[in-house]
Amino acid sequence: MKRFEGIRVKYYGHAAFRLISPEGKVIFIDPWLSNPKSPGKDYDRVDLILITHGHGDHLGDTVETAKKTGALVVGIYEISVYLNSKGVQKVQGMNKGGSLDFDGIKVTMTDATHSSGIDEGGRILPSGEPAGFIITFENGFKVYHMGDTGLFGSLQFIAELYKPDLVLIPIGSLFTMGPEEAAYAINVLKPKYAIPMHWGTFPPLTGKPEKFMEKVMAYGVKTEVIVLNPGEEAE
Ligand code: NI
Ligand code: MN
């Protein structure tokens, strides 16, 4: 069944996703492809890599993936400078509220409430602020990757202005929203579809998809929750 209007969404575990546009453009978000649940580094072509923040579980295998594929890497300004210093040639910094056009795909950086810093050998390098992304595909379908976040006030603006169709939402708790907060966010955003992320990677992430689905249903919103296990793809 084609729910996502021609967009293919593959989950690599944790916060890592691959989106393929109807025109065949390949986008990775937070490619920590060596996470404990990952199906592996099965990429061939990658056109664009989006980074939500500087933590290692999101920056992940970005440098390696970018160097192997020649993909453009987009992140908040400070992260773009960092990646450039690591030898990644094609980088584009941006900031919250701004958008960029990538061959007809619009990428908008949103707020997120979390921290951001790059752990380099136990020393923390400042890396701007954490963010989320709204990706508007060629056909108008909108995917919102929330990044690592708790609840924040401008979620209401995001819901009203962008009306995302599919939300990729953290539910694991401890470092991000848990099922209860995530269900509240879904009730604000009211997307057609939601895919939980940032759960089950390691034992301290206690939030479970079943609990999230139960809480979403309790709000009576029509959002269809699609649970993907690492390695699974939906469209
Ligand atoms: Ni984080
Ligand atoms: Mn994280």
Which ligand gives the minimal distance to the CA of 115? Answer: 1
Look up residue 84 and give its DSSP letter.
Answer: H
Ligand 1 center from residue 113 Cα (angstroms): 10
Ligand 1 center from residue 234 Cα (angstroms): 25
Burial class (CB in 10 A: 0-12, 13-18, 19+), 207: buried
Look up residue 128 and give its DSSP letter.
Answer: -
Mean pLDDT by 10 residues, the chain (235 residues): 92 98 98 97 96 98 98 98 98 98 98 97 96 98 98 97 98 98 98 98 98 98 98 98
Q: Please report where in the chains the tokens 């025109």 appear, as a residue.
A: 23
In a domain, 40, yes or no: yes
Ligand 1 center from residue 235 Cα (angstroms): 27
Ligand 1 center from residue 28 Cα (angstroms): 17
Which ligand gives the minimal distance to the CA of 15? Answer: 2
For 87, the token pair is: 């030898």
> What confidence score (pLDDT) does residue 79 get?
98
Ligand 1 center from residue 179 Cα (angstroms): 17
In a domain, 158, yes or no: yes
Ligand 2 center from residue 23 Cα (angstroms): 30
Give the residue numbers spanning the domain of 28. 8-230
In a domain, 77, yes or no: yes
Q: How many domains does the chain have?
A: 1
Ligand 2 center from residue 115 Cα (angstroms): 10
Query: Going by DSSP bridges, is the β-strand pair 26-29/17-20 parallel, antiparallel, or unpaired?
Result: antiparallel
In a domain, 103, yes or no: yes
> What is the C-alpha separation between 176 and 179, in angstroms, rounded?
10
Look up residue 24 and give its DSSP letter.
Answer: -
> What is the C-alpha separation between 56 and 192, in angstroms, rounded?
31
The CATH number that applies at residue 145 is 3.60.15.10
> What confidence score (pLDDT) does residue 2 get?
82
> What is the C-alpha separation between 29 and 167, in angstroms, rounded?
13
pTM here is: 0.98
Ligand 1 center from residue 114 Cα (angstroms): 7
> What confidence score (pLDDT) does residue 1 get?
61
In a domain, 1, yes or no: no
Which ligand gives the minimal distance to the CA of 14? Answer: 2
In a domain, 2, yes or no: no
CA distances from 23 to 27, 106, 132 (A): 12, 14, 23
Ligand 2 center from residue 233 Cα (angstroms): 21
